[in-house]
Amino acid sequence: MGIKYDYGHPKWGLSYEHYNFYKTIEAMGYSLIYFDYMKLSQKYGTDIMSELLREAVYYYNPDILFYFNFHDWVSYNVWKEISEETLTKTIIWLGDDSWRYEETRPIWELFNTIITTDKNKHNQRTEEGFNSVLSQWACNHLLYRKLNLSKIYDISFVGRCYGERKEFIELLREHNIEILTFGQGWEGSGRVSQADMIRIYNQSKIVLNISKTSKGDKIQIKGRDFEVPGCGSLSLTQESEEIKEYFEPDNEIVTYKDIDEAIQKIKYYLSHEKELNVIADNGYRRILKEHTYEKRLLEIL
């Protein structure tokens, strides 16, 4: 279960869930039934969509129902019935768990298996007696890959313009760093499709990641931490203890503590492209070895 189109808008292109989860599971050879709950909700309303899900589970009797949570539109009673009264094993993958833990609790506590990328929330669920699995974002290496395009951008940032991001980018530009910004809210740009994002990553020497959550000040590992090196480019991301569990800083990616260190490292690596390329190549190899969605899902399933 997931959203086929980006936030339910076909004109925006296919969604993150489609590119990374559906296409990966499909490539792994599983027999799949695609339940696009947003499209069905838009067409019939959430009540009928919930009943359609219930009927689909009883009709097809799937071994596993894999749900990428976005909006809690499926009826509570339908989730409860599927998890408790059918033979189908239910798995939920939670995004933004660091700040949506209690908000989404009424739904996730009904699932047989709960997947989170947040270590603290995983530990909290485990202590509460839930079957929690700590996983992490990754990339579909069949899509996020090297395209052998020319590196026409020194440094780029892809993401919405909100919070401290605007100030951060403006400070970089004040220090003569010509960073290209792509996404909603940036002048001259708009929403970036997954396909365009892959192209931008491939065409950038450095891709900046600003890792704070959209709510609060927590440093959060994001999908682009894996997608950028998966496209063969240098990932410059905020330093955290968690990121060190997945990459070796300054050997596979580059990290920064604050804006001053980000400025210093950007200027250094743009003037030392040989070192930049070595780190980007090391990050690319680490992705293929450990951080593809195929490997993540094999561990989970």
pLDDT tens string 120-137: 999 999 999 999 999 999
Q: Is the pTM of this model over 0.85?
A: yes
| Domains in the chain, CATH or no CATH each | 6-135 (no CATH), 153-290 (3.40.50.2000)
Q: pLDDT band at 12, cuts 50/70/90?
A: confident
CA angle 206, 138, 147 (to 5 degrees): 50
At residue 71, the pLDDT reads 80
Q: How far apart are CA 163 and CA 269, in angstroms?
A: 27
At residue 217, the pLDDT reads 66
Half-sphere exposure of 105 (CA within 13 A, CB side): 11
pLDDT tens string 278-289: 999 999 999 999
CA angle 229, 98, 166 (to 5 degrees): 60
Alpha helices in 23-118 (DSSP H): 23-27, 37-44, 46-60, 76-85, 97-108
Count Cβ atoms below 10 Å from residue 171 Cβ, excluding itself.
14
Q: 8-17, 170-179, 207-216, 245-254: which range is least confident on average?
A: 207-216
State what percent of residues in the chain have pLDDT above 90: 81
Mean predicted lDDT score pLDDT of the chain: 93
At residue 144, the pLDDT reads 94
**Arithmetic mean of pLDDT, 181-193:** 91
At residue 216, the pLDDT reads 56
Q: How far apart are CA 48 and CA 144, in angstroms?
A: 36
At residue 294, the pLDDT reads 96
Query: Residue 251 above 80 pLDDT?
Result: yes
